[in-house]
Structure 1
Amino acid sequence: MKYLIHVLILFYLLPLSVFANTKGIISNDVTKSNKTTLTVAIAEGGYYPFYYKEKDTLKGLSVDIINYIKVNSHFDFNFITLQWPRALDLVARGKVDLILTLFKTPKRKQIYYFIEPSYGSEINQLFSLTDTDIDFTGQLTQLAPYAIGTLREYSYGKAFDQAQYLKKRPALTEEVLLKLLLNKQIDMLIGNPFKFSRLINHEQLNTKVRAIMPYVAMTPVYMVLTKERKDSHTIKQTLEQLIQQLKSTPSYQELLDKYQLNFK
């Protein structure tokens, strides 16, 4: 009789395990020991609103995407803060697994696996000194006379990247670019307006530096995976499944609204 009761209990519980994953979500009931840890490179100083620190807590759209993947997969993540060029190099060589918030270019596609689909979009904007008269209506040729500060190893959209006639002056950080602008070593700089607006406000430079409209470009951003891991293809498939799954939910639109990245 006891054996019969035991069988009935097992039969009763069986459907719970069989149908637990009917929505395609990988079960989050995974012990820590079964987790595969992936290292994630992020840039020094953060990249608001994609990732940034608030009271020693890492926040942002990219972080929320990573947390969603963590909950719904067997992956765990370890964030590593690096200078941007070094981060790109280490992921290319397989010393770091992932990098966040990257634009897709033909050169980069040869080096990294881009996780499809993109998980957001970024706008790039020009900034100049308030006493500088620059006429810009959206045509990049209008910028030919000026020296433009850029970040090393960053992409600003296909049109800007391929505009060889532009005088681009690369620097390592946004802070350096801002100093170059204030010292009139460049005429303008280009970058993420969220990041630069926060920096300008923090340095109380609102009367000295202005944003120029219109935006230069709006470009999809991707999570990027090294090609050097033996299990890269499997990881890529899982990450793509989960990002696609998240983007199909109302929660994704709420995240875009939360970080003011819903440009529709």
Structure 2
Amino acid sequence: MPVDDLPRLGLGTYSDDDREQWRENVRTALDVGFRHVDTAQVYENERYVGEGIADSDVDRDDLWLSTKTVHHDVPPEPEQVPAAIDGCLDRLGVDAVDLLYVHWPSGVYDHEDVLPAFDAAYEAGKTRNVGLSNFTPELLDEAREVLEAPLFAHQVEMHPLLPQEELVAYAQEHDHWLVAYSPLGKGAALDVPAVREVAEKHDATPAQVSLAWVTSHDNVAAIPKASSREHMEQNLAARELELDDEDIELIDSIDERHREIDADHGPWNW
């Protein structure tokens, strides 16, 4: 799939248990109309995601597939990164992914040791694009000095309670995507009065409002998780919801802040 065709809404596939569900979930999501699927080595579901893709009627060339490796403790040594990348492809059952992310810039991560392996995968055609995840602006600067491949995307948590203004501005300035995970704040954003007010105005769900707000930003895409056909269809319908300036301003005025994924190894906690 051409780089310009990154779908603004994709399917996130993280879950704490029942990894096998993602075979059917992915097949259902593709049947509903999703064309962007995101997974990771540490999710331990790449094999099932790959099987769901194989089960579907969607041609591989019509699907945007992303995965991640180099978690803060997986793999344990930088020299194992090339093998970890190959492992992702093997489990997914593909020759290449559309986007390969560094999952965390902590633990085993060292920009000078790890990023050359991502460049090598890019040059070898194992990934069509390279991305980073959970970085700060300073770490993005550091990585961009080493990466020879263009930085295509940066994936971080983003929703109305964590608007990530600095990282959105950074993505716009440097012309890469910001891909928002947990774009509903694991449900926390759905009970905010401003979000519910906008939802009522448009006869939409709070989830659709949150997704429409996230993707109203230039250079921003979102990957909500969903496991039922109904929620997948509702999420995908957020593409048709057009928020006006008043809606955007109301949601932008929310002053409550909440980070759902707040690991000690997150660089914002250093």
TM range (shorter): under 0.3
Larger RCO (CA within 8 A; separation ≥ 6): 1
TM-score, with structure 2 as normaliser: 0.26
More strand by share: 1
Larger Rg: 1
TM-score, with structure 1 as normaliser: 0.26
More helix by share: 2
